[in-house]
Chains A and B, each alone.
Chain A
């Protein structure tokens, strides 16, 4: 069971309070009607499915109810950071550094 930091509750909470909600930063077009078949397919079906740091959405469904984003390493399953919905992608290079430093502690 993962431990996830909810940026709204400002606390780490157990995974069972959360629902994973797929890859993050896939915006729904404001002009849905203008999408091509391929465009729609990319939007709805195609995913990076990154091996390494992925950006993903979670909902603190059995907590504050908020959707938020996370950067997580899909190989180690470790979170690099979580941030509120609507905020831009954090600077990864910095985060990776922080992690290495944090890792050195133990």
Chain B
């Protein structure tokens, strides 16, 4: 962009720290405006004499910039870098201008100046706090169709993004000895002291430059320098030390248990062309041994009629605009204060050539020196006066001033008002740490009281006002923190010399004169949520006596600024209305985040490929190559079916099932959980974990096992192989792998610690290829060495070790299809090569690969259950027809007692049976419900449900399994499955649909 011509009406030559040599341009509501490097959007707007920047939430009142920091309630803009990088509700006072930035005002239509929503301001008497609870109830139907859509449309500020966020966010876990929150004079002093004493220090500040109040307070001299320069030097000194990490633009947003503090660093949002590799923001998750809280304090506004008019700002903010950004907030600036600090702002403005028509001070006797100085500068001081109302609409134009104790009003024309009701210590982080605040009655403020964690507050946030006292306190805290963490390092003390910075006296919380009870004016407490002093009083009047009720009824403090300006005022007004003292009423709870933080930054890397791991088996790529379609099972991708030549799932599954039963099929079973159970007591241990008996299982033999929880419900199942006397290879379901191992470890470590057994997960050590079907042996035989595959040597449910394709294998003769079959375990890195080799052979024999869907069908044809499908957490082994797997003679196993509870042995339990569709063609829907009488009225008595259901190509009919009340006794009974548009007749049968005798297993 070409260097713009700088015509900025409010930029004061020679003031501020920005350089005219760094011009930039940005747009506001489409209009291009000049700015300087280092400007915030707010300072640049004010430089261009723009105060009107938005509309309020409820009444759509015109609103301007109130502050120069994160406490800003009004100046929220939409910021757009490009189409996909639109962000709503950005505080203009925090967002730095970069060349080309686009800003848009919010919550107005059709334009900022002429906003239809303004009608709400006119009818505002109707829209008092909580009005919606009292109305919109008739007619009943109108709520859904008229009232609620109306309320919703009126609410909300900016517009949510509509594009996927293209930005990166990064995260970082970090540890340190001392974490310092805030880089004002207190934070910097503490950091210097801690760092000099050898501590690992992190200091962060949410602003682009350190210094805090030194940005505006030019009266301060530290170590012979003006305060701001000192801060920059201190920060440079810290940054150069190896044991210190200095973080600017970094907000501490959350203080969690055990000194775990979350910080967000804004990395690139101030750059005009950030590198694509640079994250937009970075989340720091810091664990500190000691935290020093040095978050300063926040100036309060004055609560008077129309105090929300654009052009009315906090006094110290006006001073920041002048002294840091070189921008005057107006040409003719009125001052309204209850506190000394506004005087300095007035003096600075006056000295910069701005007209100050009057300082209105509600105090009768403010500091005489300040008054004298004002007079010396030719500023009129009205003590004991208040601003009864502000005039103007889109911009403040006058202030109506009157004595506090009553008297004539004088209307003073101005184009801006700066105000100060005193300072609120920022106890947010302290409170988040679960510390309890204490009330400082002398100064009407809450300060840190009882600490709950290893932290300490210093400076203005601790209620310390005097500069020298702040520095002393901070140095002490820094030194003590360092020696607390590192008691053995020798102590270095530092000294910092300061001049200026006396305590500012005076405070006003609650409504200012003219807005007291009974006055029907709009004196805003919470700007963004349009909460006025009278709303707070109304809440109390209606019985909302707890401050928490007041908050929720009025929404005071619930806006994006979370009450940084409003909470104390709200509290004071409520307390007055209740006739109670402030601490009796108390504050609402401080919660994270301190200021709103981007979802993306909390997500950081956990998105897209890193949202969750995607687990693939060793054979995955080979399966992709032969056209597999995958399904998600937990984090796994499992081959679901292998369509050929345009087949749909149904056709593919029919072919796969048929081929496997008549010829051979191969299946990737690698995702099954595997646990190696080793040790002299291994058999004993499994005997306790499984319902089945395990002591007598021979070496080289397999056994199907069921596992319950103590409550007797099926938890998992799998096949257990005895590799050696003291070594078992246990399999679990895919999803069950981690929890089964965890449960076994639990019993082993805590209930049976006397047993010498060790558990190792081998789920991923072994790739598993199931080869099933009448030709399975012929297929694998040529590749196997060292194992006799004959039915005699390796019968069903046995295993042997040897090699396949030259690689070691645990070869198991087992079957989940009902066919003769083998499960070939090979070390995972060989899985793909073995799969490829076998697949070639299978293909040559006109066999096929089959996926999980066919696996489900094939096992259902045999009535084998799938835990989690045919059982849920309410099914016992007996219900599932697996009574035979429960060791009757065992004196103990997990679940033995639970199984005997009355309801688990009662009659009428749902039992797993087969179902045939009587029409011979209707495939039931899984999950469909079963009734005895399809003609009964709703609610119907359901007696069971369909857990598995498929078309069986092998049986040439639909097959299903279902859990039905008393099912074992209902064989042959006709039941009904009512669907949305039809009723399907079914008959209960045994859950075996192919090879009922089971001969095929043994080929």
Contacts and interface: CB of A to CB of B under 8 A. Distances in A.
Interface of A: 1-3, 14, 19, 21, 27-28, 30, 32-33, 35, 37, 40, 43-44, 57, 59, 61, 65-67, 76-78, 85-86, 105-106
B891 interface: yes
A59 B257 contact: no
Interface residues of B, number: 32
A67 B455 CA distance: 31
Contacts of A59: 742, 745-746
Among A28, A59, A106, max chain B CB count under 10 A is at A106
Interface in B277-294: 285, 287, 290
A1 B260 contact: yes
A86 B751 contact: no
Given A33-B891, A33-B892, A1 B256 contact: yes
Given A59-B746, A106-B453, 13 more contacts: A1-B285, A2-B258, A3-B258, A27-B751, A28-B751, A33-B891, A33-B896, A35-B897, A40-B898, A43-B710, A65-B745, A66-B749, A86-B753
B290 to A, nearest CB: 8
A37 B600 CA distance: 51
A14 B287 contact: yes
Interface of B: 173, 256-258, 260, 285, 287, 290, 434, 451-456, 484, 710-711, 742, 745-746, 749-751, 753, 891-892, 896-898, 901-902
Contact of B753 (A32, A78, A85): A85
Contacts of A21: 746
A66 B759 CA distance: 12
Nearest to A102: B454
B745 A37 contact: no
A14 B260 CA distance: 10
Contacts of B753: 85-86
A37 B712 CA distance: 13
B897 A40 contact: yes
A106 B12 CA distance: 48
Given A44-B898, A67-B750, A106 B454 contact: yes
B258 A19 contact: no
Contacts of B750: 57, 67, 85-86
Nearest to B456: A106
Contact of B451 (A40, A44, A106): A106
27 contacts: A1-B285, A3-B257, A3-B287, A19-B742, A30-B892, A32-B897, A33-B892, A35-B897, A40-B897, A40-B898, A40-B901, A43-B710, A44-B711, A44-B898, A59-B746, A67-B745, A67-B746, A67-B749, A76-B434, A76-B452, A77-B257, A85-B749, A85-B753, A86-B753, A105-B484, A106-B453, A106-B454
A37 B173 CA distance: 49
A40 B897 CA distance: 7
Contact of A32 (B173, B746, B892): B892
A77 B257 CA distance: 8
Contacts of A33: 891-892, 896-897
A37 B287 contact: no
Contacts of A3: 257-258, 260, 287
A67 B748 CA distance: 10
A23 to B, nearest CB: 12
A32 B896 contact: yes
Contacts of A78: 257
Nearest to B759: A65
A104 B412 CA distance: 56
A70 to B, nearest CB: 13
Nearest to A30: B892
A44 B753 CA distance: 20
Contact of B455 (A19, A43, A106): A106
Contact of A1 (B257, B290, B456, B891): B257
B898 A37 contact: no
Nearest to B896: A32
Contacts of A35: 897
